[in-house]
Amino acid sequence: MLDGWRDKLRFIVVVVFGGLCFLIPAYYDKVDTYLAGERVTAQVLQCELAGRKAGTNYTCLGSWVRNGVADVGTLHGVSDSEPPGTTVAVRVTDDAAVLDSPRWMVYFAIGCLALVTVTGLIVRLFVRLIRATRPR
């Protein structure tokens, strides 16, 4: 099926970069909140382990004041169990709060670069196929 190590490597690169493309929809809403949200300080109310591995997946509930209005909601991006009362910098919109960290942009940029790479590889493949099937 695949001839040579170069074809196998190309296949692996397409699979890996294709998977990285899923960072775009996974982080789009968080990037939107990070870019458009207002900077506020939130107070952690509680954190619970969301997955099975400690230290990786915590869901934290927090409160903040935005434009003089108090609000409560999920704080996206808190990676450790924060004790209640801890203050964290967040960016908030009407319906979301994310940690004030540029990592959202980094993840999104990695997904965009992966998409560009996969698109380039697919275009190159089609050009090679067209040239190979063109009558001489």
What is the count of structural domains for the chain? 1
- Give residue 120's domain range: 4-133
DSSP lists the bridge partners of residue 40 as 90
Q: HSE (CB half, 13 Å, CA atoms) of 86?
A: 15
pTM of the model: 0.72
Structure tokens at 103: 């990592």
For position 91, what pLDDT does the model report? Answer: 94
Q: pLDDT digit string (tens) for 10-56?
A: 788 888 988 998 989 888 888 988 999 999 999 999 888 776 665 55
Residue 82 above 90 pLDDT?
Answer: no
pLDDT band at 132 (very low <50, low <70, confident <90, very high): confident
